Amino acid sequence: MSPAISITLTDLGLGDLIVGRHAFDRSLDPAIPVVGDQTGIDYETLARTNPTHVLLEQTADGLPGLLNRLADERGWVVESLPMLALDDIPAAVDQLARLFQSIAGVSTRAAPLHRRMDIAWRPRPELALRNGRTLIVYWVSPIGVAGPGSFHHDLLKRMGFEVVPATGSPYITLDLEDLNRLDPDSILLLTPDLNPDDLDGVIEPWRKLGLCAVDADRIAILNDWRFLTPSSAMIDFADRVVEAVSAWPVNSDDAGPSPGKRQSESKPQARARGRGRLRIQGKNSLRSTTRNPSPRPSPGGRGGGNQNDVSRSDHSGSQINKAFRRCPAALFLPHGVKTASREPVLSIR
């Protein structure tokens, strides 16, 4: 099973038909049998659930041969859905609605979901002067971040954010040296169940680097596990991002140093240009905290490929960079890529 697919199915009104779940899935009744996890499929349990449909996230390896044989023998309908890029989410809504169109109400629920996505994911240019160059962090040891082609990266770009890194694979692992060179203006930390009391310890290595985002308190912790899934939960994710970033002050230092001076400006000078507020943001609340994690799946159920050199253009003429000249330009050269394979399975009777 795929947690992302189960969330979207539930939003389509089909949650009560799910008879098998992924081990990481927290949205479903724990009494529903676990039929798979990131290591593969539990075929014995899957067979006992006797589903009519088996839904998986699409992988580069294709459908497992054993699953195909069991499906042929037992008459299961097997569907794999691509779940990597942002556009895969509305496409999955349509695919699931077509697959279960014979069930009353399913088709009529798809259109409102699409409208909510359009509203939540619309461009938000007014936020550009609050967050600057934004880094999306999934986990902190090692440091795993969203790259181009991932649904988080796609979403923030669609909303008008400048997201770093600008090139590379969808999921990237970097070390502290890479992070220091990247030096983002703001960080979205998507670590489920992060305890605010543990935050200082989590970011202390980053603080020692003198990162602009840390020293200016532009860190938003969005610790709802659903935000790691390429699902209709990205509607709520976008709303929470807007809420968090809107709490940060506008940095409108248009009269600041020229792009040439930006390179030589010291980090202490940069920090003095404008501080934000650190926010802890969960599913239902937004709490302030002073600066003072859980299972770690690869978001979307997959990892990136080999990562080549990645660099960030200065774009010093842009509105964003005029406001955030306090941070020096960065060159991002990651040393590795986080990879993971899984065969999540969803069973529906």
Residue 275 and residue 177 in one domain: yes
Residue 219 belongs to domain spanning: 125-332
Confidence of residue 61 (pLDDT cuts 50, 70, 90): confident
**Positive/negative CA dihedral, 265, 266, 269, 273:** positive
Residue 24: pLDDT over 70: yes
The CATH number assigned to the domain holding 183 equals: 3.40.50.1980
Q: How far apart are CA 34 and CA 344, in angstroms?
A: 10
Residue 176: pLDDT over 90: yes
Q: How far apart are CA 286 and CA 156, in angstroms?
A: 20
Question: Distances in Å between the alpha carbon of 2 and those of 45, 158, 340?
Answer: 16, 25, 14
Residue 324, SS3?
Answer: coil
pLDDT in tens, 318-345: 444 444 544 433 222 233 333 333 333 3
Residue 143: pLDDT over 80: yes
Q: What is the dihedral of CA 253, 258, 261, 267, to 10 degrees?
A: 20
Tell me the pairing of strands 133-140 and 186-189. parallel
Q: Which of 338, 336, 317 is nearest to 162 (CA)?
A: 317
Q: Which of 138, 16, 1 is nearest to 57 (CA)?
A: 1
| Per-residue model confidence (pLDDT) at position 299 | 58
Q: pTM for the complete prediction?
A: 0.76
Q: How far apart are CA 314 and CA 308, in angstroms?
A: 19
| Per-residue model confidence (pLDDT) at position 79 | 94
Residue 303 and residue 181 in one domain: yes
Is 295 part of a structural domain of the chain?
yes
| Per-residue model confidence (pLDDT) at position 54 | 94
Q: Which amino acid is at 143?
A: I
Residue 192 and residue 272 in one domain: yes
Averaged pLDDT, 130-148 = 93
pLDDT in tens, 229-274: 999 999 999 999 999 999 998 865 543 333 233 334 445 444 444 4
Residue 152 and residue 203 in one domain: yes
Residue 138 and residue 244 in one domain: yes
